[in-house]
Structure 1
Amino acid sequence: MQNAVSQAREVGGSMRPSTSSRSGTSMVTVLGQQPRYMQLAQTLVNEIQNGRYPVGSTIPTEFELCEQFGASRSTVREAVKQLVQLGMVVRQPGVGTTVKALKSEGAYTQVMQQLSDLQRYTADTVLEILSKETEPLVDDAVCELLRANPGETWLHVRSLRRSPDSVDPICHTDAYIHPAFRSLKVDMDELHTPLFTMIERQFGEQIAQVQQEIRAIAMPPAVARLLNAKARSPALWVCRRYLNRRGDMVEGSINIHPADRYTYSETFQRGWNSA
Protein backbone atom coordinates (compact mmCIF):
# COMPACT_ATOMS: atom_id res chain seq x y z
CA MET A 1 0.00 0.00 0.00
CA GLN A 2 1.40 3.33 -1.02
CA ASN A 3 1.88 5.81 1.81
CA ALA A 4 0.66 9.35 1.37
CA VAL A 5 3.09 11.88 2.77
CA SER A 6 2.59 15.64 2.66
CA GLN A 7 5.64 17.77 3.26
CA ALA A 8 5.65 20.89 5.39
CA ARG A 9 5.39 24.07 3.34
CA GLU A 10 6.02 27.71 4.13
CA VAL A 11 2.74 29.53 4.81
CA GLY A 12 2.84 33.11 6.02
CA GLY A 13 6.25 32.61 7.57
CA SER A 14 5.34 29.45 9.54
CA MET A 15 5.66 25.73 8.90
CA ARG A 16 2.71 23.36 8.53
CA PRO A 17 3.00 19.97 10.25
CA SER A 18 3.71 16.97 8.06
CA THR A 19 1.17 14.13 8.06
CA SER A 20 1.47 10.53 7.03
CA SER A 21 -1.01 7.68 6.63
CA ARG A 22 -0.26 3.98 6.98
CA SER A 23 -2.70 1.08 7.23
CA GLY A 24 -5.63 3.39 7.75
CA THR A 25 -4.03 5.27 10.66
CA SER A 26 -3.05 8.92 10.64
CA MET A 27 -0.09 10.49 12.41
CA VAL A 28 0.57 14.19 12.78
CA THR A 29 4.09 15.35 13.53
CA VAL A 30 4.73 18.92 14.58
CA LEU A 31 8.06 19.95 13.15
CA GLY A 32 10.62 20.89 15.79
CA GLN A 33 11.62 24.05 13.92
CA GLN A 34 11.34 27.75 14.52
CA PRO A 35 9.11 29.78 12.15
CA ARG A 36 10.81 30.49 8.82
CA TYR A 37 11.18 34.22 9.52
CA MET A 38 13.09 33.42 12.75
CA GLN A 39 15.46 31.20 10.81
CA LEU A 40 16.07 33.98 8.27
CA ALA A 41 16.56 36.50 11.08
CA GLN A 42 19.19 34.26 12.70
CA THR A 43 20.99 33.91 9.37
CA LEU A 44 21.10 37.70 8.96
CA VAL A 45 22.35 38.13 12.54
CA ASN A 46 25.12 35.61 11.87
CA GLU A 47 26.10 37.35 8.61
CA ILE A 48 26.23 40.75 10.32
CA GLN A 49 28.43 39.38 13.10
CA ASN A 50 30.63 37.54 10.61
CA GLY A 51 31.36 40.79 8.78
CA ARG A 52 29.36 40.23 5.62
CA TYR A 53 27.39 43.38 6.43
CA PRO A 54 29.62 45.75 8.47
CA VAL A 55 28.26 48.49 10.73
CA GLY A 56 27.19 51.41 8.53
CA SER A 57 26.49 49.26 5.49
CA THR A 58 23.03 48.36 4.20
CA ILE A 59 21.66 44.86 3.98
CA PRO A 60 19.92 43.76 0.76
CA THR A 61 16.44 45.08 0.03
CA GLU A 62 13.35 43.02 0.83
CA PHE A 63 13.04 42.13 -2.86
CA GLU A 64 16.66 40.95 -2.99
CA LEU A 65 16.28 38.94 0.21
CA CYS A 66 13.16 37.29 -1.17
CA GLU A 67 15.18 36.14 -4.16
CA GLN A 68 18.14 35.03 -2.07
CA PHE A 69 16.09 33.00 0.41
CA GLY A 70 13.26 31.92 -1.85
CA ALA A 71 10.87 33.33 0.74
CA SER A 72 7.74 35.46 0.66
CA ARG A 73 7.91 39.20 1.24
CA SER A 74 5.93 38.91 4.50
CA THR A 75 8.44 36.35 5.83
CA VAL A 76 11.40 38.55 4.94
CA ARG A 77 9.72 41.61 6.43
CA GLU A 78 9.17 39.78 9.73
CA ALA A 79 12.80 38.61 9.75
CA VAL A 80 14.12 42.15 9.31
CA LYS A 81 11.68 43.34 11.98
CA GLN A 82 13.39 41.01 14.47
CA LEU A 83 16.73 42.71 13.78
CA VAL A 84 15.13 46.13 14.24
CA GLN A 85 13.74 45.07 17.61
CA LEU A 86 17.17 43.80 18.63
CA GLY A 87 18.61 47.22 17.80
CA MET A 88 21.03 45.78 15.24
CA VAL A 89 19.61 47.57 12.18
CA VAL A 90 17.63 50.71 11.48
CA ARG A 91 15.26 51.37 8.57
CA GLN A 92 15.69 54.72 6.81
CA PRO A 93 13.30 55.87 4.05
CA GLY A 94 15.18 56.41 0.82
CA VAL A 95 18.33 54.80 2.24
CA GLY A 96 17.42 51.23 3.15
CA THR A 97 18.10 49.07 6.18
CA THR A 98 21.41 50.07 7.74
CA VAL A 99 23.46 47.94 10.14
CA LYS A 100 23.64 49.78 13.44
CA ALA A 101 25.35 47.34 15.82
CA LEU A 102 26.94 43.90 15.90
CA LYS A 103 24.91 42.76 18.89
CA SER A 104 21.67 43.44 20.72
CA GLU A 105 21.54 46.71 22.65
CA GLY A 106 21.75 47.27 26.40
CA ALA A 107 18.18 46.66 27.58
CA TYR A 108 18.26 43.03 26.57
CA THR A 109 21.48 42.40 28.53
CA GLN A 110 19.91 43.85 31.63
CA VAL A 111 16.89 41.62 31.20
CA MET A 112 19.08 38.54 31.02
CA GLN A 113 20.73 39.53 34.27
CA GLN A 114 17.30 39.71 35.87
CA LEU A 115 16.43 36.26 34.49
CA SER A 116 19.63 34.89 36.01
CA ASP A 117 18.55 36.30 39.34
CA LEU A 118 15.16 34.57 39.05
CA GLN A 119 16.80 31.28 38.12
CA ARG A 120 19.12 31.55 41.11
CA TYR A 121 16.12 32.24 43.37
CA THR A 122 14.28 29.14 42.17
CA ALA A 123 17.44 27.01 42.41
CA ASP A 124 17.68 27.83 46.11
CA THR A 125 14.02 27.04 46.82
CA VAL A 126 11.53 24.25 46.11
CA LEU A 127 8.15 24.53 44.38
CA GLU A 128 5.25 22.63 45.91
CA ILE A 129 2.47 22.23 43.35
CA LEU A 130 -1.02 22.60 44.84
CA SER A 131 -3.03 22.33 41.62
CA LYS A 132 -2.59 22.39 37.85
CA GLU A 133 -5.73 23.07 35.85
CA THR A 134 -6.59 24.24 32.35
CA GLU A 135 -9.41 26.71 32.86
CA PRO A 136 -11.06 29.75 31.25
CA LEU A 137 -10.25 33.17 32.67
CA VAL A 138 -13.20 34.73 34.48
CA ASP A 139 -11.61 37.26 36.86
CA ASP A 140 -11.44 40.71 35.27
CA ALA A 141 -8.45 41.71 37.44
CA VAL A 142 -6.48 38.64 36.32
CA CYS A 143 -7.40 39.29 32.67
CA GLU A 144 -6.10 42.83 33.01
CA LEU A 145 -2.82 41.66 34.54
CA LEU A 146 -2.37 39.06 31.79
CA ARG A 147 -3.62 41.39 29.05
CA ALA A 148 -6.03 38.62 28.10
CA ASN A 149 -9.70 38.38 27.22
CA PRO A 150 -12.28 36.72 29.50
CA GLY A 151 -12.98 33.18 28.36
CA GLU A 152 -9.47 32.45 27.08
CA THR A 153 -8.32 29.05 28.36
CA TRP A 154 -4.98 29.29 30.19
CA LEU A 155 -3.06 26.77 32.30
CA HIS A 156 -3.36 27.80 35.97
CA VAL A 157 -0.66 26.44 38.31
CA ARG A 158 -1.09 27.14 42.03
CA SER A 159 1.93 26.49 44.21
CA LEU A 160 3.85 27.24 47.38
CA ARG A 161 7.55 28.00 47.38
CA ARG A 162 9.63 26.75 50.26
CA SER A 163 13.11 27.60 51.49
CA PRO A 164 15.43 25.28 53.46
CA ASP A 165 15.82 28.11 55.98
CA SER A 166 12.10 28.40 56.77
CA VAL A 167 9.63 25.91 58.21
CA ASP A 168 6.70 27.83 56.69
CA PRO A 169 6.29 28.57 52.96
CA ILE A 170 7.84 31.85 51.80
CA CYS A 171 5.42 32.45 48.96
CA HIS A 172 2.11 31.55 47.35
CA THR A 173 2.04 31.73 43.55
CA ASP A 174 -0.72 31.75 40.95
CA ALA A 175 1.02 31.16 37.61
CA TYR A 176 -0.92 31.52 34.37
CA ILE A 177 0.52 29.94 31.20
CA HIS A 178 -0.60 31.28 27.79
CA PRO A 179 -2.99 28.99 25.86
CA ALA A 180 -0.27 28.24 23.28
CA PHE A 181 1.74 26.51 26.02
CA ARG A 182 -1.07 25.15 28.21
CA SER A 183 0.01 21.55 27.54
CA LEU A 184 3.17 22.25 29.56
CA LYS A 185 4.42 19.17 31.40
CA VAL A 186 5.57 20.09 34.90
CA ASP A 187 8.30 17.62 35.80
CA MET A 188 8.05 16.82 39.51
CA ASP A 189 11.78 16.04 39.49
CA GLU A 190 12.59 19.57 38.32
CA LEU A 191 10.87 21.67 40.94
CA HIS A 192 14.02 23.79 41.29
CA THR A 193 13.49 24.83 37.65
CA PRO A 194 11.40 27.96 36.82
CA LEU A 195 8.21 27.36 34.84
CA PHE A 196 9.40 29.78 32.14
CA THR A 197 12.51 27.62 31.66
CA MET A 198 10.31 24.54 31.26
CA ILE A 199 8.32 26.43 28.61
CA GLU A 200 11.52 27.36 26.76
CA ARG A 201 12.72 23.75 26.75
CA GLN A 202 9.44 22.14 25.73
CA PHE A 203 8.22 24.66 23.15
CA GLY A 204 11.38 26.29 21.77
CA GLU A 205 10.17 29.69 23.03
CA GLN A 206 12.55 32.30 24.40
CA ILE A 207 11.82 34.71 27.23
CA ALA A 208 13.35 38.08 26.37
CA GLN A 209 11.87 40.33 29.04
CA VAL A 210 10.35 40.12 32.49
CA GLN A 211 8.17 42.97 33.70
CA GLN A 212 7.87 43.11 37.47
CA GLU A 213 5.38 45.05 39.58
CA ILE A 214 5.51 45.19 43.39
CA ARG A 215 2.87 46.35 45.85
CA ALA A 216 2.32 46.30 49.60
CA ILE A 217 -0.97 44.58 50.45
CA ALA A 218 -2.87 43.04 53.36
CA MET A 219 -2.53 39.25 53.38
CA PRO A 220 -5.66 37.65 51.86
CA PRO A 221 -7.27 35.23 54.36
CA ALA A 222 -7.34 32.28 51.92
CA VAL A 223 -3.63 32.66 51.14
CA ALA A 224 -2.80 33.28 54.81
CA ARG A 225 -4.10 29.82 55.73
CA LEU A 226 -1.82 28.18 53.16
CA LEU A 227 1.22 30.18 54.28
CA ASN A 228 0.58 29.79 58.01
CA ALA A 229 0.44 33.57 58.23
CA LYS A 230 -1.95 35.97 59.92
CA ALA A 231 -4.83 37.20 57.77
CA ARG A 232 -4.66 40.90 56.90
CA SER A 233 -1.03 41.07 58.04
CA PRO A 234 1.50 43.01 55.88
CA ALA A 235 2.44 41.19 52.70
CA LEU A 236 4.35 41.77 49.49
CA TRP A 237 2.48 41.30 46.19
CA VAL A 238 4.76 40.67 43.20
CA CYS A 239 3.41 40.31 39.66
CA ARG A 240 5.75 39.13 36.90
CA ARG A 241 4.95 39.07 33.19
CA TYR A 242 7.22 36.94 31.02
CA LEU A 243 7.38 38.18 27.41
CA ASN A 244 9.01 36.76 24.31
CA ARG A 245 10.98 38.78 21.76
CA ARG A 246 7.79 39.87 20.02
CA GLY A 247 6.49 41.26 23.29
CA ASP A 248 3.81 38.55 23.56
CA MET A 249 2.79 37.25 26.99
CA VAL A 250 4.07 33.74 27.68
CA GLU A 251 3.47 33.50 31.41
CA GLY A 252 2.10 35.71 34.16
CA SER A 253 2.50 35.05 37.87
CA ILE A 254 1.09 36.61 41.03
CA ASN A 255 3.27 35.97 44.07
CA ILE A 256 2.28 36.82 47.64
CA HIS A 257 4.96 36.85 50.36
CA PRO A 258 4.50 37.40 54.10
CA ALA A 259 6.40 40.59 54.88
CA ASP A 260 8.75 38.92 57.36
CA ARG A 261 9.79 36.06 55.05
CA TYR A 262 10.98 37.83 51.93
CA THR A 263 13.29 40.75 51.19
CA TYR A 264 13.69 42.21 47.73
CA SER A 265 17.16 43.72 47.28
CA GLU A 266 18.41 45.65 44.25
CA THR A 267 21.55 47.68 43.60
CA PHE A 268 21.56 50.74 41.30
CA GLN A 269 24.75 52.02 39.73
CA ARG A 270 25.40 55.35 38.07
CA GLY A 271 26.24 55.01 34.37
CA TRP A 272 29.52 56.41 33.04
CA ASN A 273 27.73 59.08 31.05
CA SER A 274 25.46 60.20 33.89
CA ALA A 275 25.69 63.81 34.98
Structure 2
Amino acid sequence: MSSPHPRLSARQPRYMIVAQALMHDIETGRHGVGSLLPTEAELGQQFNVSRHTVREAIRRLTDLGLVSAQAGVGTRVRAQRPVNHYALTAEGLSDLFRYAHEVALRIDSQEEIVADGALAAFLECPPGQKWLRLQGERFVRNEGESIGLAEIHVAASYRAALEDTNRPDAAIYALIERRFGVEVREVRQEISALALTAAQAKRLGVAPGSPGLRLVRKYYSSSGELFEVASNIHPADRFSYASTLRLRPTGESEN
Protein backbone atom coordinates (compact mmCIF):
# COMPACT_ATOMS: atom_id res chain seq x y z
CA MET A 1 0.00 0.00 0.00
CA SER A 2 1.12 3.55 -0.69
CA SER A 3 3.05 5.26 2.09
CA PRO A 4 0.87 7.87 3.82
CA HIS A 5 1.67 11.53 3.29
CA PRO A 6 3.22 13.14 6.40
CA ARG A 7 0.40 15.68 6.70
CA LEU A 8 -2.50 13.24 6.47
CA SER A 9 -5.27 13.58 9.03
CA ALA A 10 -8.16 11.25 9.70
CA ARG A 11 -10.42 14.30 9.95
CA GLN A 12 -9.86 15.17 6.29
CA PRO A 13 -12.29 14.09 3.55
CA ARG A 14 -11.34 10.67 2.23
CA TYR A 15 -10.64 11.96 -1.27
CA MET A 16 -8.11 14.42 0.20
CA ILE A 17 -6.38 11.60 2.08
CA VAL A 18 -6.09 9.67 -1.19
CA ALA A 19 -4.98 12.77 -3.11
CA GLN A 20 -2.26 13.64 -0.61
CA ALA A 21 -1.00 10.07 -0.48
CA LEU A 22 -0.73 10.05 -4.28
CA MET A 23 0.98 13.46 -4.20
CA HIS A 24 3.53 12.00 -1.79
CA ASP A 25 4.12 9.03 -4.09
CA ILE A 26 4.57 11.36 -7.08
CA GLU A 27 6.92 13.71 -5.22
CA THR A 28 9.09 10.81 -4.02
CA GLY A 29 9.24 9.23 -7.48
CA ARG A 30 7.15 6.14 -6.84
CA HIS A 31 4.95 7.31 -9.72
CA GLY A 32 7.41 9.00 -12.07
CA VAL A 33 6.66 11.80 -14.51
CA GLY A 34 5.30 10.25 -17.71
CA SER A 35 4.07 7.08 -16.02
CA LEU A 36 0.44 6.03 -15.62
CA LEU A 37 -1.22 5.88 -12.23
CA PRO A 38 -2.97 2.63 -11.28
CA THR A 39 -6.54 2.34 -12.57
CA GLU A 40 -9.51 3.65 -10.59
CA ALA A 41 -10.38 0.10 -9.57
CA GLU A 42 -6.82 -0.58 -8.40
CA LEU A 43 -6.65 2.68 -6.45
CA GLY A 44 -10.05 1.98 -4.91
CA GLN A 45 -8.82 -1.39 -3.71
CA GLN A 46 -5.47 0.04 -2.56
CA PHE A 47 -7.08 2.74 -0.41
CA ASN A 48 -10.32 0.87 0.35
CA VAL A 49 -12.49 3.66 -1.08
CA SER A 50 -15.16 3.98 -3.76
CA ARG A 51 -14.48 4.91 -7.38
CA HIS A 52 -16.23 8.22 -6.76
CA THR A 53 -13.69 9.02 -4.03
CA VAL A 54 -10.83 8.06 -6.37
CA ARG A 55 -12.22 10.31 -9.12
CA GLU A 56 -12.41 13.26 -6.71
CA ALA A 57 -8.81 12.64 -5.66
CA ILE A 58 -7.69 12.51 -9.31
CA ARG A 59 -9.61 15.71 -10.02
CA ARG A 60 -7.68 17.39 -7.20
CA LEU A 61 -4.36 16.24 -8.67
CA THR A 62 -5.49 17.45 -12.11
CA ASP A 63 -6.34 20.90 -10.72
CA LEU A 64 -2.81 21.07 -9.29
CA GLY A 65 -1.29 20.23 -12.67
CA LEU A 66 0.20 16.95 -11.42
CA VAL A 67 -1.71 14.56 -13.69
CA SER A 68 -3.91 14.51 -16.77
CA ALA A 69 -6.53 11.93 -17.69
CA GLN A 70 -7.12 10.64 -21.21
CA ALA A 71 -10.03 8.40 -22.12
CA GLY A 72 -8.91 4.92 -23.09
CA VAL A 73 -5.36 5.53 -21.88
CA GLY A 74 -5.44 6.36 -18.18
CA THR A 75 -4.15 9.03 -15.83
CA ARG A 76 -0.62 10.13 -16.62
CA VAL A 77 1.75 11.94 -14.25
CA ARG A 78 2.66 15.34 -15.74
CA ALA A 79 4.74 16.98 -13.00
CA GLN A 80 6.50 16.01 -9.79
CA ARG A 81 5.25 19.06 -7.90
CA PRO A 82 2.13 21.22 -8.21
CA VAL A 83 2.24 23.68 -11.10
CA ASN A 84 2.19 27.35 -10.17
CA HIS A 85 -1.34 28.56 -10.91
CA TYR A 86 -3.07 31.92 -10.66
CA ALA A 87 -6.85 32.19 -10.35
CA LEU A 88 -8.61 35.52 -10.85
CA THR A 89 -12.17 36.03 -9.64
CA ALA A 90 -13.67 39.30 -10.82
CA GLU A 91 -16.89 41.08 -9.95
CA GLY A 92 -15.85 44.63 -10.82
CA LEU A 93 -13.09 46.86 -12.13
CA SER A 94 -11.21 46.81 -8.82
CA ASP A 95 -10.97 43.01 -9.07
CA LEU A 96 -9.49 43.28 -12.56
CA PHE A 97 -6.87 45.68 -11.22
CA ARG A 98 -6.01 43.09 -8.56
CA TYR A 99 -4.40 40.91 -11.25
CA ALA A 100 -1.84 43.61 -12.00
CA HIS A 101 -1.03 43.99 -8.30
CA GLU A 102 -0.82 40.28 -7.43
CA VAL A 103 1.08 39.24 -10.55
CA ALA A 104 4.56 40.71 -10.94
CA LEU A 105 6.01 41.72 -14.31
CA ARG A 106 9.62 41.28 -15.36
CA ILE A 107 10.45 43.35 -18.45
CA ASP A 108 13.01 41.66 -20.70
CA SER A 109 12.96 44.13 -23.60
CA GLN A 110 11.67 47.61 -24.39
CA GLU A 111 11.64 49.32 -27.78
CA GLU A 112 9.92 52.13 -29.62
CA ILE A 113 7.87 51.03 -32.61
CA VAL A 114 5.66 52.63 -35.23
CA ALA A 115 2.18 51.15 -35.40
CA ASP A 116 0.99 50.36 -38.89
CA GLY A 117 -1.48 48.08 -40.60
CA ALA A 118 -2.99 45.41 -38.34
CA LEU A 119 -1.10 46.67 -35.28
CA ALA A 120 -2.50 50.19 -35.72
CA ALA A 121 -6.00 48.72 -35.91
CA PHE A 122 -5.36 46.64 -32.78
CA LEU A 123 -4.07 49.72 -30.92
CA GLU A 124 -6.94 51.84 -32.28
CA CYS A 125 -4.59 54.54 -33.52
CA PRO A 126 -3.72 56.23 -36.83
CA PRO A 127 -0.99 54.48 -38.85
CA GLY A 128 2.42 55.92 -38.04
CA GLN A 129 1.78 56.58 -34.35
CA LYS A 130 4.67 55.75 -32.01
CA TRP A 131 4.32 53.29 -29.13
CA LEU A 132 6.59 51.59 -26.64
CA ARG A 133 6.54 47.80 -26.78
CA LEU A 134 7.50 45.96 -23.60
CA GLN A 135 8.02 42.21 -23.57
CA GLY A 136 8.57 40.01 -20.54
CA GLU A 137 7.10 37.42 -18.19
CA ARG A 138 4.48 37.31 -15.45
CA PHE A 139 5.05 35.76 -12.01
CA VAL A 140 2.84 35.36 -8.96
CA ARG A 141 4.49 37.64 -6.42
CA ASN A 142 6.88 35.81 -4.06
CA GLU A 143 6.80 32.70 -6.28
CA GLY A 144 9.45 31.94 -8.86
CA GLU A 145 7.78 30.08 -11.72
CA SER A 146 6.51 32.00 -14.73
CA ILE A 147 2.75 31.86 -15.24
CA GLY A 148 2.74 33.64 -18.58
CA LEU A 149 4.28 35.89 -21.21
CA ALA A 150 3.51 39.59 -21.49
CA GLU A 151 3.55 42.04 -24.38
CA ILE A 152 2.50 45.56 -23.45
CA HIS A 153 2.07 48.57 -25.71
CA VAL A 154 2.17 52.03 -24.14
CA ALA A 155 1.61 55.30 -25.99
CA ALA A 156 5.09 56.79 -26.53
CA SER A 157 4.09 60.07 -24.88
CA TYR A 158 4.18 58.23 -21.52
CA ARG A 159 7.71 56.88 -21.94
CA ALA A 160 8.98 58.79 -18.89
CA ALA A 161 6.84 56.63 -16.58
CA LEU A 162 8.87 53.56 -17.56
CA GLU A 163 12.43 54.84 -17.39
CA ASP A 164 15.11 52.66 -15.77
CA THR A 165 12.92 49.80 -14.60
CA ASN A 166 12.77 46.15 -15.59
CA ARG A 167 10.75 45.05 -12.55
CA PRO A 168 8.06 47.70 -12.02
CA ASP A 169 6.95 48.17 -8.41
CA ALA A 170 3.38 48.73 -9.61
CA ALA A 171 1.17 47.99 -12.59
CA ILE A 172 2.08 49.89 -15.77
CA TYR A 173 -1.18 51.86 -15.75
CA ALA A 174 -0.46 52.83 -12.12
CA LEU A 175 3.03 54.08 -13.02
CA ILE A 176 1.49 56.25 -15.74
CA GLU A 177 -1.16 57.51 -13.34
CA ARG A 178 1.52 58.30 -10.75
CA ARG A 179 3.73 60.23 -13.20
CA PHE A 180 1.16 61.92 -15.43
CA GLY A 181 -2.06 61.96 -13.40
CA VAL A 182 -3.88 59.87 -16.03
CA GLU A 183 -6.89 58.15 -14.48
CA VAL A 184 -8.19 54.83 -15.79
CA ARG A 185 -11.86 55.24 -16.61
CA GLU A 186 -12.56 52.05 -18.55
CA VAL A 187 -10.91 48.69 -19.17
CA ARG A 188 -11.98 46.47 -22.05
CA GLN A 189 -10.99 42.84 -21.72
CA GLU A 190 -10.98 39.92 -24.13
CA ILE A 191 -10.01 36.32 -23.38
CA SER A 192 -9.39 33.81 -26.15
CA ALA A 193 -7.96 30.31 -26.52
CA LEU A 194 -4.87 29.52 -28.57
CA ALA A 195 -2.23 26.86 -29.16
CA LEU A 196 1.19 27.91 -27.90
CA THR A 197 3.84 28.36 -30.58
CA ALA A 198 7.18 26.58 -30.31
CA ALA A 199 8.88 29.79 -29.13
CA GLN A 200 6.20 30.51 -26.51
CA ALA A 201 6.19 26.91 -25.31
CA LYS A 202 9.98 26.88 -24.91
CA ARG A 203 9.94 29.98 -22.70
CA LEU A 204 7.12 28.57 -20.58
CA GLY A 205 8.55 25.06 -20.30
CA VAL A 206 5.65 23.24 -21.94
CA ALA A 207 5.15 21.25 -25.14
CA PRO A 208 4.60 23.13 -28.44
CA GLY A 209 0.93 23.25 -29.32
CA SER A 210 -0.15 23.11 -25.67
CA PRO A 211 -3.43 24.92 -24.98
CA GLY A 212 -3.17 28.47 -23.73
CA LEU A 213 -5.22 31.54 -22.90
CA ARG A 214 -4.66 35.02 -24.28
CA LEU A 215 -5.84 37.84 -22.04
CA VAL A 216 -5.95 41.29 -23.67
CA ARG A 217 -6.75 44.42 -21.69
CA LYS A 218 -7.15 47.90 -23.13
CA TYR A 219 -6.90 50.82 -20.70
CA TYR A 220 -8.76 54.05 -21.48
CA SER A 221 -8.35 57.37 -19.69
CA SER A 222 -11.15 59.65 -18.51
CA SER A 223 -10.71 61.57 -21.79
CA GLY A 224 -11.28 58.38 -23.81
CA GLU A 225 -7.63 57.93 -24.83
CA LEU A 226 -6.39 54.36 -25.22
CA PHE A 227 -2.97 54.63 -23.58
CA GLU A 228 -2.05 51.02 -22.73
CA VAL A 229 -2.76 47.61 -24.25
CA ALA A 230 -1.56 44.57 -22.30
CA SER A 231 -1.53 41.13 -23.92
CA ASN A 232 -0.76 38.18 -21.66
CA ILE A 233 -0.43 34.56 -22.76
CA HIS A 234 -0.83 31.85 -20.12
CA PRO A 235 -0.58 28.06 -20.34
CA ALA A 236 -4.10 26.80 -19.72
CA ASP A 237 -3.14 25.03 -16.49
CA ARG A 238 -1.51 28.11 -14.93
CA PHE A 239 -4.34 30.62 -15.14
CA SER A 240 -8.09 30.59 -14.61
CA TYR A 241 -10.66 33.35 -14.65
CA ALA A 242 -14.07 33.50 -13.00
CA SER A 243 -16.63 36.29 -12.98
CA THR A 244 -19.94 36.89 -11.26
CA LEU A 245 -22.86 38.30 -13.24
CA ARG A 246 -25.94 39.62 -11.48
CA LEU A 247 -29.36 40.27 -12.95
CA ARG A 248 -30.17 43.97 -12.98
CA PRO A 249 -33.66 44.77 -11.64
CA THR A 250 -36.14 45.77 -14.35
CA GLY A 251 -36.07 49.48 -15.03
CA GLU A 252 -32.71 50.11 -13.35
CA SER A 253 -30.32 52.20 -15.42
CA GLU A 254 -27.01 50.64 -16.51
CA ASN A 255 -25.17 53.94 -15.94
- TM-score band, normalised by the shorter chain? 0.5 to 0.7
Is the counterpart of residue 173 in structure 1 residue 150 in structure 2? Answer: yes
| Partner of residue 119, structure 1 | 97
Q: For the residues of structure 2 that align with 1:222 and 1:149, how far apart are their CA atoms? A: 30
> Does the 8 Å contact 1:124/1:163 carry over to 2?
yes
Residue identity (%)? 30
Q: For the residues of structure 1 that align with 2:167 and 2:142, how far apart are their CA atoms? A: 20
Q: For the residues of structure 2 that align with 1:188 and 1:112, how far apart are their CA atoms? A: 31
Is the counterpart of residue 251 in structure 1 residue 228 in structure 2? Answer: yes
Larger RCO, structure (CA 8 Å, separation 6 or more)? 2
| Partner of residue 191, structure 1 | 168
| Partner of residue 134, structure 2 | 157
| Partner of residue 112, structure 2 | 134
RMSD across aligned positions (CA): 2.7
Q: What SS does structure 1 have at the residue aligned with 2:245? A: coil
Residue 166 of structure 1 deviates from its aligned partner by 5.9
Residue 173 of structure 1 deviates from its aligned partner by 1.1
Q: For the residues of structure 2 that align with 1:145 and 1:270, how far apart are their CA atoms? A: 32
Q: For the residues of structure 1 that align with 2:151 and 2:209, how far apart are their CA atoms? A: 19
Change (3 A) 1:170 1:192: farther
One-letter code aligned to 2:100: T
Mapping of residues 1-275 of structure 1, within 5 Å: 113-114=92-93, 116-138=94-116, 140-164=117-141, 167-186=144-163, 188=165, 191-273=168-250
Residue 222 of structure 1 deviates from its aligned partner by 2.0
Q: How many residues are treated as equivalent by the alignment?
A: 163
Deviation readout 1:227-261 (Å, 9 max, x if unpaired): 22222211111111111122221111111111010
Q: For the residues of structure 1 that align with 2:235 and 2:185, how far apart are their CA atoms? A: 29
> Does the 8 Å contact 1:237/1:254 carry over to 2?
yes
> Does the 8 Å contact 2:91/2:244 carry over to 1?
no
TM-score, with normalisation over the residues of structure 2? 0.57
Residue 179 of structure 1 deviates from its aligned partner by 2.5
Q: For the residues of structure 2 that align with 1:121 and 1:268, how far apart are their CA atoms? A: 19
| Partner of residue 45, structure 2 | none
Question: Which ranges in structure 2 are unaligned for 5 or more consecutive residues?
Answer: 1-89
Q: For the residues of structure 2 that align with 1:178 and 1:189, how far apart are their CA atoms? A: 18
Residue 167 of structure 1 deviates from its aligned partner by 4.8
Residue 148 of structure 1 deviates from its aligned partner by 2.2
One-letter code aligned to 2:115: L
